[in-house]
Structure 1
Amino acid sequence: MSDTDSDWKEERVQALKESLSFFSNAEKLNREKWVVRQLLKALHVDFREEEMNEAAEPVDVAFRNAGFQVKEILDEGRRRTDEYKNKLERAKSAQHFGELLEHYTPLDISFSEVVQQCYAYAESLLTQSKYGPHECKNIDLLCYFNWQDYGVVPPIDVPVKEIGFRSLSVVSNRYCAVVYASSNAPTFLKGNIGKAK
């Protein structure tokens, strides 16, 4: 392996170690804040980092008068930690530059379909949640759609329908939207219903 290949290998190994650290239990709050941050930026909400705080269950991140419960939607059966551990082992044992490359052929999913997936997920939470309807009516559910090897594309129509949470917002790798907000939801969420950004 040449010096250039070796440098690239070291960078890849370091990046995978950092990813494993980020996806550890210890970094859960930072991941949740990252998702909230993506939504706030997309909605053009001016904020300071210290406005996002860890909150008591059932809320994950408190921001002003919003109480976000952040849920990541992964592919069914996906085990991300195992995935990154396997990539790290492959990178460590690579002898040639080509072994560090990964084949990538992304599939398309429309943002409209992403929103439908998040509605279905939210409805499943209501039926299996440890929180009752009263608690859910005070939760701002924030879904981070993270299917592997999928690129989110138009159409971006956002169907608005009532759900048992105070609000439902969606963050994906390309678009963000508030897809539902009740009358008592925070103003910055109510003012952006149905707009994909």
Structure 2
Amino acid sequence: MKQSDKRHLESLIAATEATRELFSNRNKSTREKMVARAFLRCLGIGFSEEEFVVGPEEPVDISFREARFQIREMLGDRKRGQALREQLKRYQKAKSINDVTDPWRDSIPLSFTDVSRGIAESLSSKASKYGVEACAKLDALVYVNIPGRHLYPLIPKLDPIVAEELDRQGWRSVSMVFIPFSCVLVAKADCPAFLRKKTGRVRMKWPHPGGWFDPQ
């Protein structure tokens, strides 16, 4: 094996192991802060790290100013733990870069309607667990993380069935981040003003080509 190939494969293995560590249970709060940062940046809301507070208690994952975020991740059909294990095994067995090089595939558009349906579905189990009374004090935030897909068209019009379902679940607000976009889908009158004022528009306010999740 070429020395350059060896170094590159070693870097891929190290990156995959770091990703598995990030998605371990002990790093749950770290991941939730990352999602909150990305959401606020894409929405165009400035912040300081000190404003992110873990909890203080279930079902609040991250408190930010007046917001009480319950954070969920929407993965589509994939099982991340299994995918990462298989990826790591593939890198470890590789004899050259060619063994880990995948063919280029164009990103496939995912409509706002389909995304919002998936969001309602992903929040359903938590809404059932906490109940309407608790959800009425929570701001649901869903990180849409589906590789190979992108949000298009950028028309944030809720399907009536989805709107009815989110209303039934009872959340004070429902928002999403789908890099590089953020959108507040639902915002009731008593939700934080910075969310309510941004309702109903897909926003892409972060001007940089990366760094959405990073600490300041």
Verify same fold: TM over 0.5.
yes
Q: Which residue of 1 aligns with 2:70?
A: 69
Q: Which residue of 2 aligns with 1:54?
A: 54
1:26 aligns with 2:32: no
Secondary structure of the 2:175 match is strand
Q: What residue identity is the alignment partner of 2:42? A: A
Following TM superposition, by how much is the alpha carbon of 1:19 offset from its aligned partner in structure 2, in angstroms?
Answer: 0.7
CA shift digits 1:22-60 (9 cap, x unpaired): 111111111111111111111221111121111011110
CA shift digits 1:69-121 (9 cap, x unpaired): 00111223x32112111111111111111012123523321234212321343
Q: Which residue of 2 aligns with 1:159?
A: 157
Secondary structure of the 1:15 match is helix
2:182 and 2:40 map into 1 onto residues whose CA distance is 9
More displaced 10-residue stretch of structure 1: 5-14 or 114-123:
114-123
Secondary structure of the 2:130 match is coil
> Structure 1 runs of 4+ off > 4 angstroms?
none
Is the CA contact 1:138–1:165 (under 8 Å) kept in the aligned structure 2?
yes
> Which sections of structure 1, spanning at least 5 residues, go unmatched?
none
Q: Which residue of 2 aligns with 1:168?
A: 174
Secondary structure of the 2:129 match is coil
Q: Which residue of 1 aligns with 2:143?
A: 144
1:8 and 1:110 map into 2 onto residues whose CA distance is 36
- Structure 1 residues 95 and 143, CA, compared in 2 at 3 Å: closer, same or farther? same
1:22 and 1:148 map into 2 onto residues whose CA distance is 18
Structure possessing the higher relative contact order (Cα contacts under 8 Å, 6 or more residues apart):
2
1:153 and 1:58 map into 2 onto residues whose CA distance is 29
More displaced 10-residue stretch of structure 1: 181-190 or 78-87:
78-87
Q: Give the count of matched residue pairs.
A: 193
Q: Which residue of 2 aligns with 1:132?
A: 131
1:175 and 1:111 map into 2 onto residues whose CA distance is 11
2:125 and 2:156 map into 1 onto residues whose CA distance is 20
Is the CA contact 2:73–2:145 (under 8 Å) kept in the aligned structure 1?
yes
Is the CA contact 1:112–1:155 (under 8 Å) kept in the aligned structure 2?
no
Q: TM-score, normalised by structure 2?
A: 0.83
Following TM superposition, by how much is the alpha carbon of 1:125 offset from its aligned partner in structure 2, in angstroms?
Answer: 4.1
Is the CA contact 2:109–2:152 (under 8 Å) kept in the aligned structure 1?
no
CA RMSD of aligned residues (A): 1.7
- Structure 1 residues 102 and 3, CA, compared in 2 at 3 Å: closer, same or farther? same
2:91 and 2:124 map into 1 onto residues whose CA distance is 40
Aligned 1:99-110 pairs, distance under 5 A: 99-105=99-105, 106-110=107-111
Q: TM-score, normalised by structure 1?
A: 0.90
2:64 and 2:17 map into 1 onto residues whose CA distance is 30
